[in-house]
A and B are shown apart, each in its own frame.
Chain A
């Protein structure tokens, strides 16, 4: 069998090189090779959104992407959403709206919601619910999560600079 492949990608703004086996998913690479454990494995088959990352601007399940596929790609994970000690409006909004209980799905929801609001700042409740349907939460019943995204969208529209 072929050996490990050298892959170079920009992850959270930093040039990152790693070696991976062809069968390792991007999720496994992030968690096991790069210590970026913010992306979570909930199902490992694309049905829970816990492992969401933004790959070249598109929201993906990192469990459904191979590590070898991301050579030359730009990747944003939950670890790159806050800027230093400055939380993203979505992160603040999740805290203030009590939009998490156990918190395991939270990184996936925040990454997914960021991908939405980056491209559709006017998203309403119906659009948010549609966009987030690939992210499962078992604790909250989604009410406070949807409200948190609506609040963050509102804040980002009022002060766009805060979202960068």
Chain B
């Protein structure tokens, strides 16, 4: 840990490029050892950098607003992997895919490398920092307070500085966050008189209802939500919370629901109100002051809700009763994807529902005040003012409104009315492209900073390495400007941004009643911040509660047979487009559709039949505000009246500077703010066939299990009975249980196995070894793909690109298989997830067929793969029943890691050369590492010494890894679970991975 505050960065010399061992990983696994290499020593030895051993610094994730704590793993002075900070209350040691991909932002080749000034001809020219500062300082002085600042910086010391700084200038500042959940805040204002975002305790909730809120994807604090959700919804000795989802689209969150009920877009509120009504009517529970609502709600009968939403009455009734009786329960709404014109009313309704069920204060915790911006409305206000010529200078810090707002809002035009525009940005974003001056700023991993994602939590960031490019910390830019411009800014005279931060922390320490500011800082730095409980605000109904109403949401565009309601939704990978230039996130495939690299239009199969649209047929989608072209993806998980298009693509600037392929769904939306927010589900669109086709780069082969028992599931009742998956299946499908092997066969097998075991008492196999195993609890797995990202980062997995994915050549060592259940003839469409990686079979079929022993069985039960011995016959992959072996068809190691992305490569793992087979190794480098350490300390390995990257990252801790032979280990315990099963048990390959069947709490009436 970074436990000393000295400002010198010498201790984090950026040597990787020069390569003590740094460059090593980037070299392919051929025998290329004869080339002359240089050894570059440190100038000054660092106490906390031991070459060959990872140093970990605590930091904070800035990939979304939830502010998770990071542990940054660095080697020889370069960050190689982002992991969750176990001490951080938000994510508690786990980290989502997007967070982990943050490191690709750090090393991104298309980062702005030096200040750039727009020339008269519109092109950009690199200039020195001094020039840049001088230029901007002059402009600021000239502007005389006519300064507009748009800030994407979260709540923290920098934001405070920026605020004060802008104020001093006499300018105006808008905090801008594309997914700001304005509707949630507005509703809280209306119902409880509290203008804030509460925290939600999913872990405590026993019954969870989501009204289109994608709390496992982008809603408020996804990683935290998922952790809580897994804790309550995951099956633990006979109990699990129930999760019901209402909404127009089957998103990842709804896929993890025990039941998903499709509702007409914009009608979820009616259901919420009806539920509240039933609860009050039946007086099962609820605080006294909710009586006032009784009459108000009386008109909202379930029948009416059914009429409006299309959800059956009895379902609403039962949901209401269970919701009330479960206690504490939790209802959530306000997801971006379902943010329609009446989103505020929806959230208000849900607030009431939570209130009458008595959840407010138990699972809905006000007082935490999750960070949020000023909302879309405020931005529009400012841009209008810009158009009116009220500003001389505009400064945009880490925000990209030019991309993230609909074209119909004309942000670009209005913004360009400002004479002098400046972008403080990592990347040449669409907005930066409009500016006159682009100032490259430090990545979060390169700078000192802090963040206050919510009350009670102050999370620190520290430079874990030398800056990759010639950038500056935004804070330093402000201070330099102040020194240069003087005048009103003269008061900002801190020596450096770091000094300023320390100073403000000294104050913070005092406020915390800690005399020793230095010690306080030291401790915070080591821990990753200061973590305290959030204050809880007592909540009462406000007057606004009685103005509760839920009119039908208005839609732009004509209603009609051939027109659909458009839902432009954010995906958990691309978020607001921040993910669009991260190779990992693009290739890892969307958790729902499993599409990589491309944009698509989701259309319901019935509608598709009606219009005779095929999968992959390119459609023209037209709304009153614009039109786009994208391939059709037939998706049963939709309301037939809806087409859905993912957000995040279609930017002009990205990875290779050539722009993300794909389209920007915002082009179809109405830029007018409704009640201060942008309505993402508010437009009617018409579809037209173009007759052109595009092959969709899906990682999915066949999405049905064909009764092969891959991802098993059972009902809660069956689980309670302690049924095995096969028994449960037998019961559900009304056939006698299919014995995998008859008794005779079992006997034969036992004989065969013991015979095997004495036959291998040779060489290394004679000694006593651990047997590594893994178990995956499918009742906790949500299919979020955080494990996949972790695997990419840990194991130097190359990104192969769209063309290769189309040929099925993606290299994901661990993949999340998503199978569909039901869906046809009326039965509900359900999803099953199955994280599939090398099963490390005891009788591995891949091993005996390798002519050169490149695939063989290690004494500790791993299925070893020796890259440098592999000649590439690919026989092992043919013979693998799980198809988890991946071949280097081309020299991906040369193409997938363009400078400086190769600096992220993990030096402990060989980068595979062209023509060799590779696959999941159970993170053998971590195993060997732990064994080396244990050996140095003369102790045996303890349970938990080795944890694979996937298990470490999993936000729902569904993956357990360890030594099966050690009967006290967690893995041994979970492998004994009644729900445990192996995929393809009956081909007797004896996998080391045990899956625990998913438990679904069906409504058995």
A and B associate in one complex: no
* Residues of B bordering A, CB below 8 Å: none
